[in-house]
């Protein structure tokens, strides 16, 4: 199988750097083909702006969605964007690896999403009307592929528990899992999260690698998070609220998991 690892840490000689190298070796030794987008090493341009299209007139008003649509449809996207889209189309599975900074992904990775997930590629796909709200949340360009987060956090696991002060890790990651990965069609696997990274010694590192190896070995068999597909009848359209008879007692993020 083909795996794209999108990696966002500025220091190769870090825990993240070691885990990235470990993951690549593990996947390759199992016979998979791996490409790595090492965003810091690539000096990835983080900020979405008018320069993301080529051959653009300087004075035109920049509309992030409309410009993205035009550039995607017309082959006028900047080359770095098109190259990452090709990697996504190539891959059977995508891993996003990053340290949790301020309870989300690093800016450089957020900017990868914003620029690569173009209109017509990751959003604005399929019919948009008052009865059909596009191919998204289960459908979309990346349907049939798998995605998983590999995340490091400085805090303790209890700080991210159901009553932990930071909020539950599943809720913190929901906007990424559901809003970024499930949205364009990925099957999203449970995340692999490493806590309390400042207290890593050799024993714990070995245990972490073993647990990570298990997750990489089962990348094709792990059951994805059961997000509810938008277009299978569970949602009213165009309000896009859960139908009254679906999980009537539930609300919030958890209601979107079947």
Residue among 182 and 192 whose Cβ is closer to its own copies: 182
3-state secondary structure of 137: strand
Residue among 224 and 229 whose Cβ is closer to its own copies: 229
Per-residue binding string, its own copies, 208-247, x by CB under 8 A, is ----------------------x----x--xxxxx-----
**What is the maximal distance between C-alpha atoms in the chain?**
59
Q: Is 20 in the site for its own copies (CB under 8 A)?
A: no
Q: Is 141 in the site for its own copies (CB under 8 A)?
A: no
Residue among 36 and 113 whose Cβ is closer to its own copies: 113
Q: Is 258 in the site for its own copies (CB under 8 A)?
A: no
- Report how far apart, in Å, the C-alpha atoms of 208 and of each of 200, 211, 258 are: 9, 5, 30
Distance from C-alpha of 144 to C-alpha of 167, rounded to nearest angstrom: 31
- Report how far apart, in Å, the C-alpha atoms of 100 and of each of 80, 209, 257 are: 25, 19, 23
Among 21, 33, 62, 258, binds its own copies (CB under 8 A): 62
Among 158, 207, 214, 226, binds its own copies (CB under 8 A): 158
Distance from C-alpha of 237 to C-alpha of 86, rounded to nearest angstrom: 32
Q: Is 255 in the site for its own copies (CB under 8 A)?
A: yes
Q: Which stretch binds its own copies (CB under 8 A): 11-19, 69-77, 145-153, 209-217?
A: 11-19
Q: Is 163 in the site for its own copies (CB under 8 A)?
A: yes
CA angle 104-15-18, nearest 5°? Answer: 120
The token pair at 27 is 């996947």
Distance from C-alpha of 43 to C-alpha of 10, rounded to nearest angstrom: 10
3-state secondary structure of 210: helix
Among 38, 80, 92, 171, binds its own copies (CB under 8 A): 171
Q: Which of 67, 88, 212 is nearest to 150 (CA)?
A: 212
Distance from C-alpha of 161 to C-alpha of 118, rounded to nearest angstrom: 34
DSSP 179: I
Q: Which of 183, 182, 15, 35 is nearest to 100 (CA)?
A: 15
Among 25, 28, 49, 207, binds its own copies (CB under 8 A): 49
Among 178, 185, 188, 189, binds its own copies (CB under 8 A): 178
Q: Is 250 in the site for its own copies (CB under 8 A)?
A: yes
Among 7, 72, 98, 117, binds its own copies (CB under 8 A): 117
Residues found near its own copies in the complex (CB under 8 A) = 10-11, 13-14, 40, 44, 46-50, 61-65, 99, 101-104, 106-108, 110-111, 113-114, 117, 137, 154-156, 158-159, 161-168, 171-172, 174-175, 178-180, 230, 235, 238-242, 250-256
């Amino acid at each position: 199988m083909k795996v794209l690892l999108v990696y966002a840490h500025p220091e190769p000689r870090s825990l993240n750097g070691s885990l990235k190298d470990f993951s690549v070796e593990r996947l390759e030794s199992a016979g998979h083909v791996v490409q790595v987008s090492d965003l810091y090493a690539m000096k990835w341009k983080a900020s979405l702006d008018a320069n993301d299209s080529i051959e653009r007139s300087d004075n035109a008003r920049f509309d992030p969605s409309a410009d993205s649509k035009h550039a995607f449809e017309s082959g006028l996207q900047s080359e770095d964007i098109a190259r990452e889209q090709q990697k996504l189309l190539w891959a059977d599975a995508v891993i996003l690896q990053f340290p949790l900074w301020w309870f989300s992904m690093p800016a450089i990775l957020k900017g990868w999403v914003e620029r690569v997930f173009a209109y017509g590629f990751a959003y604005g796909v399929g019919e948009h009307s008052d009865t059909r709200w596009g191919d998204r949340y289960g459908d979309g360009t990346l349907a049939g592929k798998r995605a998983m987060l590999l995340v490091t956090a400085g805090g303790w696991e209890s700080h991210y528990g159901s009553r932990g002060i930071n909020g539950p890790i599943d809720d913190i990651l929901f906007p990424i899992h559901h809003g970024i990965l499930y949205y364009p069609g990925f099957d999203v696997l449970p995340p692999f999260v490493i806590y309390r990274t400042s207290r890593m010694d050799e024993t714990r590192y070995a245990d972490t690698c073993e647990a990570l190896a298990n997750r990489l070995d089962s990348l094709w068999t792990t059951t994805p998070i059961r997000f509810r597909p938008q277009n299978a009848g569970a949602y009213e359209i165009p309000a896009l609220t859960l139908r009254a008879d679906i999980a009537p007692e539930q609300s919030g993020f958890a209601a979107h998991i079947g």
